[in-house]
Chain A
Amino acid sequence: MEQTALPGIGVRHDMMTESGRRLGVVSHRTGQRNLVLYDPDDPDACTADIPLTDEEATVLADILGASLILEQLSGLREQAAGLLTEQIAIPASSTYVDRPMGDAQIRSRTGASIVAVLRAGEVIVSPAPAFRFKAGDVVVVVGNRQGLDGASAIFADDGPAG
């Protein structure tokens, strides 16, 4: 995904698909966004320019997949000062490997929230408390600095839970 600033207008994201078509999204500073499809004969020009409302964009994003959540998070991080996103790997030695997520009690102990887990190239969004960690999982955590450090420490802990 290529990101290009459009000074005075907003930002354009675009990508070339494997099938050789180019598509992109123009995000206006006003909040308006347009889905654009490029001309196969002239990859610099767009043949379709589709304005999307907030709802339409959300629906489309939901359908297209959860990986977009990560993008939104990084956007959120820029907007809200002090709110950070971090990816924390769970070491094989962690006491929480093969235990349900609820056992770690990350939210009540650190104030940070687990919003997704990356496993073998897949994204599991909003895992349930019963979700079991495996060694090598990468947890996406949102919170303030302190909370994230706390969460890292909890996952790194290799002693008995306590």
Chain B
Amino acid sequence: MVHDFTTLLIQVGALLFLLGLLGRLARRIGLSPIPLYLLAGLALGHGGILELHASEEFFAVGAEIGVILLLLMLGLEYSAVELVGNLRSAAPAGSIDAVLNALPGAAFALLLGWNWVGAVVLAGITWVSSSGVIAKILADLGRLGNRETPVILSVLVVEDLAMAFYLPLATALLAGVGFVRGGVALGVAVLTVVTVLVVAIRYGKLISRAMSVDNSESLLLGVLGLTLLVAGVAAKLQVSAAVGAFLVGIALSGPVAHHATELLTPVRDLFAAVFFVFFGLATDPRHIPPVLLPALLLAAVTMATKTLTGYLAARRVGIAEPGRWRAGLALVPRGEFSIVIAGLAVSAGSVTPELAALAAAYVLITVVAGPMLARLPDLAWFKRWLRARAALQQTRTASATGPA
């Protein structure tokens, strides 16, 4: 027992230390740390260079908490009013996004010969962009003030809100309950989410007032405790723990949300890293080479559809050509949500094990290619190409409408 515990300390300590170094490396080369965490997990898990056994249980629990905290922080970023207020204007863009990006994933899964549960899961993986990675890209490239940025953000908001319905559905389907019970789970989820949104809009101030901002220790414990509690209850009700956490984040607003964000960010960073590593640990790297080609193909297709999504969404609100490209290419990276969905599928065990490997490879490709693609519209040759295109179009319309 004592021996096990010391091994655990050594393994967890060494791994976290390694992650710290990787995080620094990622920042230095201007990359999101997520792909490096995944790679570390792949290298050290089943079938990797070195297998960590003693700490697996610890990482499994940590990963669950990591998902919950990721979703809580996402919820804290938005207020209920923002979500609902944004919904009407963002719904068309959100629908284009869902159709253009979820369908290719589902079709691809069926082409690979997976069952329809696998298709639903892969649809989710290709659908959702990574709000964390994209927010960072926008800030890094100084685009927060750009006029296409609200378009990008509203697509992300709709995706995040859609996850509140998708995750319970996926959870139920993965549990093998069939479409009817899956529909019931979806119904419960819709009801819960709508109730929470209404309560948060009406009584958000009251809920937030119940949490004192004065003492950071009690606020930290209070918010964390409440989140885990609600997540647990949500999981018991088959609504998915992650969605419960997301809703807690939505319900909190004002100074409480602001302080809680500050307090919980380091905790989230720790457990989210554990989550990404655990997904890597649980994925056998020997499964990756056979799925590498499909993953590349899937990434190429869905990166193109995502670009088209942003392009169309920006065009709808009257953004000019260069802005449309910026919006499209910024939306490319998939990240934490895709891994969350794949993680759900893996832990349910009812889908082919290839899925984890495919999801890992897919996220690695998009999350590395995304930030590079997002820089394209700022490059001189890309601007020249756009100008040439615009000039060509102008002459075409001029000759079409000019005197015959």
Q: A29 near B258 (CB under 8 angstroms)? A: yes
Instruction: With CB as the reference atom, state the residue of chain A lying closest to B149.
Output: A6
Find chain A residues with CB under 8 A from B147 CB.
14, 38, 43-45
Q: B144 near A49 (CB under 8 angstroms)? A: yes
Query: Contacts A4-B150, A7-B154, A8-B77: A34 and B144 contacting too (C-beta < 8 A)?
Result: yes
B55 at the interface (CB under 8 A from A): no
Q: A7 near B320 (CB under 8 angstroms)? A: no
From 38 to 86 in chain A, residues with beta carbon under 8 angstroms from any chain B beta carbon are 38, 42-46, 49
Find chain B residues with CB under 8 A from A38 CB.
145, 147
Q: How distant is B76 from chain A, measured CB to nearest CB, in Å?
A: 9
* Contact digits for B10-50, partner A, Cβ 8 Å, 1 yes 0 no: 00000000000000000000000000000000000000000
Find chain B residues with CB under 8 A from A34 CB.
144-145
Q: How distant is A10 from chain B, measured CB to nearest CB, in Å?
A: 9
Q: B86 near A5 (CB under 8 angstroms)? A: yes
Number of interface residues of B (CB under 8 A): 27
Interface of B is mostly: helix
Q: How distant is B186 from chain A, measured CB to nearest CB, in Å?
A: 24
Q: How distant is A11 from chain B, measured CB to nearest CB, in Å?
A: 10
Query: Contacts A4-B150, A14-B147, A26-B145: A42 and B323 contacting too (C-beta < 8 A)?
Result: yes
**Pairs across A and B, CB under 8 Å, 20 listed:** A4-B150, A6-B144, A6-B149, A7-B77, A7-B78, A7-B83, A8-B77, A8-B82, A8-B135, A9-B144, A14-B147, A26-B145, A36-B145, A38-B147, A44-B322, A45-B146, A45-B147, A45-B322, A46-B142, A49-B145
- The listed residue (A7, A14, A26, A44) touching B86 by CB distance below 8 A is A7
Q: How distant is A26 from chain B, measured CB to nearest CB, in Å?
A: 5
* Contact digits for B66-84, partner A, Cβ 8 Å, 1 yes 0 no: 0000000000011000110
B153 at the interface (CB under 8 A from A): yes
B120 at the interface (CB under 8 A from A): no
B286 at the interface (CB under 8 A from A): no
Instruction: With CB as the reference atom, state the residue of chain B lying closest to A12.
Output: B145
The complex places the Cα of A7 from the Cα of B157 at a distance, in Å, of 7
A143 at the interface (CB under 8 A from B): no
Interface of A is mostly: strand
Across the A-B interface, the 4 shortest Cβ-Cβ residue pairs? A36-B145, A44-B323, A8-B77, A44-B147
Query: Contacts A5-B85, A7-B83, A8-B77: A45 and B143 contacting too (C-beta < 8 A)?
Result: yes
Starting from the known contacts A34-B144, A49-B142, 18 additional A-B residue pairs (CB-CB under 8 Å) come to: A7-B77, A7-B78, A7-B86, A7-B154, A7-B157, A8-B77, A8-B131, A8-B135, A12-B150, A26-B145, A29-B258, A30-B258, A34-B145, A36-B145, A43-B147, A44-B320, A45-B323, A46-B146
The complex places the Cα of A49 from the Cα of B323 at a distance, in Å, of 17
B319 at the interface (CB under 8 A from A): yes
B148 at the interface (CB under 8 A from A): yes
- The listed residue (B77, B135, B148, B150) touching A5 by CB distance below 8 A is B150
Find chain A residues with CB under 8 A from B135 CB.
8-9
Q: How distant is A126 from chain B, measured CB to nearest CB, in Å?
A: 30
Q: How distant is A38 from chain B, measured CB to nearest CB, in Å?
A: 8
The complex places the Cα of A29 from the Cα of B259 at a distance, in Å, of 12
The complex places the Cα of A22 from the Cα of B381 at a distance, in Å, of 25
Find chain A residues with CB under 8 A from B150 CB.
4-6, 12
The complex places the Cα of A34 from the Cα of B157 at a distance, in Å, of 23
Find chain A residues with CB under 8 A from B322 CB.
42, 44-45
B326 at the interface (CB under 8 A from A): yes
Q: A44 near B319 (CB under 8 angstroms)? A: yes
